[in-house]
């Protein structure tokens, strides 16, 4: 499989801030410069550029070309991936495909957004037509509906969601790149007593939109070896599903496309949920992580709270979870926010996570969520399995 011939040879990340005073292309230039310095590649050796979605560039039909121009990159392959929070991981999968197909040899995967400082979105889709007129305004209300439906079907112990929130915050405290406002420990009581946003979604369930950037330098294993880069991370399994069960009028909103995406990724990688060494799920809201645990087979549907009760999700626990704080406790860099979790997984497999380094680096699993139409749960779901050295 061509993806296994791909090597992530470097990662980079800026500090996440509440509102940046720097242009998104400045942040991208920082990522590029850091990757070149870390890997020893020359700028002219990069012949592919793949960007994640961004609210900053939402109104620009030529966003990938304009970004390449601003970074003075002359490339053979250029693309912006438009599957929302799935885009950073989806960009890595597309980089592997492009390299395997011979379209390019070395790709900069760049995830940058200054949504808090500059949002240029003008969405034209189902939400404006069908959900906003009914009063469903924004992600918290969607996840409020999903949470209430889950509780109606299966029951919901909110203290267990709080346990996940506490574990992620513990990671953010140890993460110097996390937004400073959130680098403070919390307790389960803090979670349970936090302000209600869209019943039953609380303040500490939710992400805070911030600004920031991250990125990866991706090439072939053969090219990495030629450059003398022996420490690499390899994608060994990937699944992607968009508009899961869209042809059906009524669906179970607690079931998501992560189920088929995960089955595909795990089959390619030759693992199952019990083999996962560290888990880096997309976390725009706490309950999203628990639902993904069920969809990926950590436990049966409806048994997420019991599974959480039985496990330790800190970096030194039996299932390390979003060890840098995830987006909820490190900050969500707009539509580039999924890169935060992906970069943390790569950092762990490189063994460069410092005080929060996990002991088992045999693999890491990263997921993405892109779009949240309540009637059919999430627009896109992705799952990727990474291993060190392939």
Name the β-bridge partners of 79.
Answer: 50
Where is pLDDT greater, at 123 or 317?
A: 317
In order, the DSSP letters of 340-375 are HHHHHHHHHHHT--GGG--S--S-EEEEEEE---GG
Q: Residue 245 burial by CB count (10 A; 0-12/13-18/19+): exposed, middle or buried?
A: middle
Q: Mark out the alpha helices in 219-359 (DSSP H runs).
A: 221-226, 258-269, 286-295, 304-309, 326-330, 338-350
Give me the pLDDT at residue 249, please: 83
User: Largest Cα–Cα distance in the chain?
Assistant: 58
Domain with residues 127-207+235-388, CATH architecture: 3-Layer(aba) Sandwich (3.40)
Q: Does the pLDDT at position 1 exceed 60?
A: no
For residues 380 and 370, the answer to whether their CB atoms sit within 8 Å is: yes
Which residues in 20-140 belong to E strands, given as ranges?
48-51, 77-80, 106-113
CB neighbour burial string for 252-265, b if at least 16 within 10 angstroms, e if fewer: ebbbbbbbbbbbbb
Mean pLDDT confidence for 154-174: 98
Give me the pLDDT at residue 126, please: 64
Please give the DSSP secondary-structure letter assigned to residue 181.
G
Give me the pLDDT at residue 139, please: 85
pLDDT per residue over 300-314, tens digit each?
999 999 999 999 999
pLDDT per residue over 35-50, tens digit each?
999 999 999 999 999 9
Mean pLDDT confidence for 227-241: 97
For residue 87, what are the CA distances in angstroms to 21, 57, 116, 238? 24, 14, 19, 13
Cα radius of gyration (the chain): 19
Give me the pLDDT at residue 124, please: 62
Q: Show me where the domains of the chain are located.
A: 2-121+210-226, 127-207+235-388
What is the number of other CB atoms lying within 10 angstroms of the CB of residue 67?
23
Ranges 91-95, 131-135, 214-218, 384-388: which has the least confidence: 131-135
Q: Please, what is the angle between helix 258-269 and helix 286-295, to 10°?
A: 60
Q: Report CA dihedral (134, 140, 146, 152) to the nearest 10 degrees.
A: -90
pLDDT per residue over 176-220, tens digit each?
999 999 999 999 999 999 999 999 999 999 999 999 999 999 999
Kindly report whether the peptide bond that precedes residue 274 is cis, defined as omega within 30 degrees of 0.
no
pLDDT per residue over 56-101, tens digit each?
998 888 999 999 999 999 999 999 999 999 999 999 999 999 999 9
Q: Do domains 2-121+210-226 and 127-207+235-388 have the same CATH topology?
A: yes
Q: Please, what is the angle between helix 139-154 and helix 286-295, to 10°?
A: 50
H or E stretch at 68: helix 63-70
The pairing of strands 212-220 and 106-113 is: antiparallel
Mean pLDDT confidence for 236-240: 98
Share of the chain above pLDDT 70, in %: 95
Length of the chain: 390
Fold of the domain spanning 2-121+210-226: Peroxisomal Thiolase; Chain A, domain 1 (3.40.47)
Name the β-bridge partners of 369.
Answer: 381
For residues 99 and 93, the answer to whether their CB atoms sit within 8 Å is: no
The pairing of strands 6-13 and 212-220 is: antiparallel
For residue 299, what are the CA distances in angstroms to 290, 293, 345, 349? 10, 7, 22, 25
3 state SS of 330: helix
Q: Does the pLDDT at position 125 exceed 70?
A: no
Name the β-bridge partners of 385.
Answer: 237, 365
């Amino acid at each position: 499989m061509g993806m296994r011939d791909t090597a992530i040879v470097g990662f980079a990340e800026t500090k996440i801030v509440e509102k940046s005073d720097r242009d998104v292309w400045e942040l991208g230039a920082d990522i590029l410069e850091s990757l070149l310095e870390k890997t020893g590649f020359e700028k002219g050796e990069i012949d592919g550029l793949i960007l994640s979605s961004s609210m900053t560039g939402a109104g620009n039909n030529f966003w990938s070309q304009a970004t390449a121009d601003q970074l003075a990159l002359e490339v053979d392959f250029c693309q912006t991936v438009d599957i929302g929070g799935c885009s950073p991981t989806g960009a890595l999968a597309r980089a592997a495909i492009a390299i395997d197909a011979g379209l390019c040899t070395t790709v900069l995967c760049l995830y940058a957004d200054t949504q808090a400082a500059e949002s240029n979105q003008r969405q034209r889709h189902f939400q404006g037509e069908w959900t906003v007129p009914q009063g469903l305004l924004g992600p918290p209300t969607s996840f409020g509906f999903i949470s209430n439906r889950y509780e109606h079907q299966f029951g919901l112990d909110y203290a267990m969601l709080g346990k996940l929130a506490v574990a992620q915050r513990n990671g953010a405290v140890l993460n110097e790149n996390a937004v400073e406002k959130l680098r403070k420990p919390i307790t389960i009581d803090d979670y349970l007593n936090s302000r209600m946003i869209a019943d039953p979604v609380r303040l500490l369930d939710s992400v805070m939109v911030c600004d920031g950037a991250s990125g990866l330098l991706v090439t072939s294993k053969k090219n990495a070896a030629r450059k003398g880069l022996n420490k690499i991370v390899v994608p060994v399994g990937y699944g992607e599903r968009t508009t899961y069960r869209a042809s059906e009028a009524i669906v179970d909103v607690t079931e998501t496309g992560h189920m088929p995406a995960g089955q595909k990724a795990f089959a390619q990688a030759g693992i199952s949920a019990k083999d996962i060494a560290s888990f880096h799920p997309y976390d725009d809201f706490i309950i999203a992580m628990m639902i993904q645990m069920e969809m990926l087979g950590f436990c049966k549907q409806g048994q997420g709270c019991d599974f959480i009760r039985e496990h330790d999700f800190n970096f030194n626990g039996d299932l390390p979870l979003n060890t840098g704080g995830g987006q909820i406790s490190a900050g969500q860099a707009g539509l580039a926010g999924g890169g935060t979790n992906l970069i943390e997984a790569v950092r762990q497999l490189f063994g460069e996570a410092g005080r929060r380094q996990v002991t088992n680096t045999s693999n890491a699993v990263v997921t993405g969520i892109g779009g949240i139409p309540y009637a059919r749960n999430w627009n896109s779901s992705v799952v990727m399995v990474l291993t060190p050295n392939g």
